[in-house]
């Protein structure tokens, strides 16, 4: 009897990481899942996965800023998915050092562990925010990098380290660059859960930041499949390369709120809150993906429309047990 391959995942207790953990188990993997150490022994969203999934998951508390912790996580793994990061842009204005520690040094620790342990495949997570406001659309992987926030800069730093490890040591790393992802379990700092969460909590006056920027939104299960696609494709097709993951669709925040109002059958009064505006030169005004490279290399394409994804997200937030996990009344940064 052959045993299931072992996937190591950082950031597994988070939004995308918990969906990726489910997708890996569904694809036949055992998962060693890192949840960030905390004294409450909280395993984040991993605590809500079904017992069948959790049977195949070993949860370990750790920290990507600690090299030994990362090495333990990756020991014996057949592949590694590095998602752990600090991701909130507004908080990166306040606490930039912690972003460098987590997103740059943390990524360096993962790359070193992969190098030393000869882990066969690492998927490193980038972000569309590294492109900054689109100069040409749709955005291909050859678009210039323009980091308009400390968050974006720290993620680009991790990307450059990943590229350098591939060039210097032949480290088998592939970089996935997701565009905005949404769905169940996302934190309320992101626009879709902020709106849906406030409406589900009975609010009809919605406060938001700038309504003009446009984004390309991918449903989280499709993003999880993009991770799996680059994690399992033949090495010669993906290793050493960067892949956008996005739908190619584009919608402004203002139009998105109107669409959510339709999906939730609610008339919404939207107000711009100056406290939620990014500094003008830091706001990324336009992001829309060209994911042709990913489709050509792996066959990946999104399976959900924006409307289908929103309907599933609304269903999640309308369940009282789920909504109770959020603080819908405060501005989450």
- What does the binding site for ligand NAD look like in residue numbers (CB under 6 A)? 10-11, 13-17, 34, 36, 44, 63-65, 83-87, 102, 106, 125, 127, 155, 178, 180-181, 187
What is the smallest separation between the CB atom of 254 and ligand NAD, expressed in angstroms?
A: 19
Cβ-Cβ contacts under 8 Å for 326 (sequence gap 6 or more): 188, 193, 197, 317
Q: What is the spatial distance between Cα 240 and Cα 243, in angstroms, rounded to a whole number?
A: 10
**C-beta of 245 vs 297, nearer to ligand NAD:** 245
Give residue for tokens 């859960």: 193
Give residue for tokens 């210039």: 144
What is the smallest separation between the CB atom of 166 and ligand NAD, expressed in angstroms?
A: 18
CA-atom Rg of the chain in angstroms: 19
What is the smallest separation between the CB atom of 202 and ligand NAD, expressed in angstroms?
A: 25
What is the smallest separation between the CB atom of 236 and ligand NAD, expressed in angstroms?
A: 26
Q: What is the spatial distance between Cα 31 and Cα 46, in angstroms, rounded to a whole number?
A: 12
**C-beta of 12 vs 200, nearer to ligand NAD:** 12
**C-beta of 4 vs 101, nearer to ligand NAD:** 101
Strands 251-252 and 214-215 come out as: antiparallel
Helix (H, G, I), strand (E, B) or coil at 134: coil
**C-beta of 40 vs 265, nearer to ligand NAD:** 40
For 41, the token pair is 């022994």
What is the smallest separation between the CB atom of 269 and ligand NAD, expressed in angstroms?
A: 26
What is the smallest separation between the CB atom of 204 and ligand NAD, expressed in angstroms?
A: 26
For 88, the token pair is 């909130």
CA 59 to chain centre: 19
For 307, the token pair is 């409307």
What residue is closest to ligand NAD based on CB? 14
**C-beta of 84 vs 153, nearer to ligand NAD:** 84
As beta bridge partners, residue 72 has none
**C-beta of 16 vs 31, nearer to ligand NAD:** 16
């Amino acid at each position: 009897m052959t045993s299931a391959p072992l996937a190591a995942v950082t950031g597994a207790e988070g939004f995308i990481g918990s969906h990726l953990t489910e997708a890996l188990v569904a694809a036949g993997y055992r998962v060693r899942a890192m949840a960030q150490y905390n004294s409450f022994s909280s395993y984040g969203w991993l605590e809500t996965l079904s017992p069948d999934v959790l049977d195949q998951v070993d949860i370990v508390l750790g920290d990507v800023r600690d090299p030994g912790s990362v090495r333990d996580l990756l020991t014996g793994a057949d592949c590694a998915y590095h998602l752990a990061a600090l991701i909130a842009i507004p908080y990166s204005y306040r606490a930039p050092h912690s972003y460098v520690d987590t997103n740059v040094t943390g990524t360096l620790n993962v790359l070193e562990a992969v190098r030393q342990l000869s882990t066969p495949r690492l998927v490193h997570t980038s972000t569309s925010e590294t492109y900054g406001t689109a100069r040409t659309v749709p955005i291909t992987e050859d678009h210039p990098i323009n980091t308009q926030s400390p968050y974006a800069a720290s993620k680009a730093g991790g990307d450059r380290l990943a590229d350098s490890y591939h060039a210097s040591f032949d480290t088998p790393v592939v970089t996935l660059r997701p565009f905005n992802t949404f769905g169940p379990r996302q934190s309320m700092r992101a626009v879709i859960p902020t709106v849906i969460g406030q409406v589900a909590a009975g609010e009809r006056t919605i406060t938001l930041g700038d309504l003009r920027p446009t984004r390309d939104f991918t449903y989280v299960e499709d993003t999880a499949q993009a991770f799996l696609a680059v994690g399992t494709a033949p090495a010669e097709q993906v290793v050493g390369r960067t892949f956008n993951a996005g739908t190619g669709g584009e919608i402004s925040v203002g139009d998105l709120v109107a669409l959510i109002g339709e999906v939730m059958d609610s008339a919404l009064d939207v107000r711009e809150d100056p406290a939620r505006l990014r500094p003008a030169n830091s706001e990324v005004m336009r992001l829309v993906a060209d994911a042709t490279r990913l489709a050509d290399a792996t066959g990946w394409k999104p399976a959900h429309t924006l409307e289908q994804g929103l309907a599933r997200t609304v269903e999640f937030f309308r369940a009282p047990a789920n909504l109770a996990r959020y603080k819908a009344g405060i501005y989450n940064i």
